[in-house]
Amino acid sequence: MSKNEIKVALIGNPNVGKTSIFNLLTGMNQHVGNYPGVTVDKKVGFCKLSQIINARIYDLPGTYSTNPNSMDEKVAVSCLLDRDDIDFPDVVVVVADVENLKQNLYLFTQIKDFGIPTILAINMADRMKPRGITIDIPALEAALHTRIALVSTRQKTGIEELKELIINYKKLSLETLVDIARIDPPFFSSLKEKFPNEELGKLWMVISQNFEVVGALRKMEIQKENIKTEAEIKRMQQRETILRYQVINNALKDTYKVTAVGTRALLDKILLHKVWGYVIFMAILLLIFQVIFYVSEYPKGWIESALGWVGEWLSGILPEGSLTSLLVDGVIPGLTAVVSFVPQIALLFFFISLLEES
């Protein structure tokens, strides 16, 4: 492999446009194989970044996090573990969707903590204006210790900027985003003493996921360090998730804004008015209350008639006695009283869900 060739791994959540970016970078200069020992497709493409620098680009399978739930996801994460592997990337490009940036950044924080130069490519930038989204790129870059390329695969913009960032990957900060040791300081301090040359984020990921790893990580035999029980690891993973989203929320707090536009902006201005907003809200609740009781009368009547008919039918075919009386005069009326409320409850939850989604 040429010293002027940069190995690039593209990774991201499913449906963020990762493969579209891969296709724009490589064109038709790509091929598909398989990863060793599995049937997962291995997509590799080649791209000319400049007159003297080329890139070998790997389109890794989509994954929501480095906690894999499928063979595809496990393959994607395994490619970023072993520095001795011939395909280990020089730089990772994490692709995110501009409308779901918060969720997509979870994977970014995990990859960043692997100690690999990492670029964030925010795709679907053409949706920003219609959705009222604004991003302070310099401030977000500072918060995430990375460089960001705004890309639109639909309009084919931002690709040249992304290429330039890949060329200059050695200038990227390797500073981690999340202090993973805060989860359990004594445990991670001990871990760092045993494996001083490995990133804590990578060590923790291998331990918590019990990866069957290769190369340098196999030599470390991390998963044989049965220091924590499965229950303890689960609790630590929960603390990790909270910690990562705290970092993400802080990074996006002043850098990522969504403002209503068009009709939505007008509705927000009316419905969120400091005086009339409360009046309109109470009016909507009153309307829902009236609709629930008015509309539910019809199915309520059908239910009462149907169960009343069942009671009459049972009293006609069953012999007289205390058991028949219990069934016809007790169970059936009780069931009628309970079931007749189902339409009202169903309508109530329907309107509540509408309010939550509006």
Sequence-distant (6+) residues with CB within 8 A of 245 are 106
If asked whether residues 217 and 92 sit together in one domain, one would say no
Domain boundary among 217, 252, 287: 252
pLDDT of amino acid 126: 93
Length of the chain: 358
Structural domain harbouring 23 = 5-177
If asked whether residues 148 and 49 sit together in one domain, one would say yes
Q: Report which secondary-structure segment, H or E, holds 203.
A: helix 200-209
pLDDT of amino acid 102: 95
pLDDT of amino acid 212: 54
pLDDT of amino acid 32: 59
If asked whether residues 73 and 153 sit together in one domain, one would say yes
If asked whether residues 168 and 184 sit together in one domain, one would say no
Show pLDDT as tens, one digit a residue, over the chain (358 residues): 556 899 999 999 999 999 999 999 998 666 655 444 444 567 899 999 998 999 999 999 888 988 877 777 777 888 888 787 788 999 999 999 999 999 999 999 999 988 899 999 999 999 998 888 999 999 999 999 999 999 999 999 999 999 999 999 999 999 989 888 888 888 888 888 887 877 788 778 777 776 554 444 444 455 445 467 778 888 888 999 999 999 999 999 999 998 876 676 677 777 777 888 888 889 988 988 888 888 888 888 888 888 888 888 888 888 888 888 888 888 888 888 888 888 888 888 888 888 776 6
The distance in angstroms from the start CA to the end CA of the chain is 54
114 part of a folded domain: yes
If asked whether residues 154 and 39 sit together in one domain, one would say yes
Residue type (1 letter), 281 = F
pLDDT of amino acid 37: 44
If asked whether residues 118 and 215 sit together in one domain, one would say no
pLDDT of amino acid 331: 85
300: Cα separation from own chain's centroid: 42
If asked whether residues 107 and 205 sit together in one domain, one would say no
Residue 348: left (phi > 0), alpha (psi -120 to 50), or beta? Answer: alpha
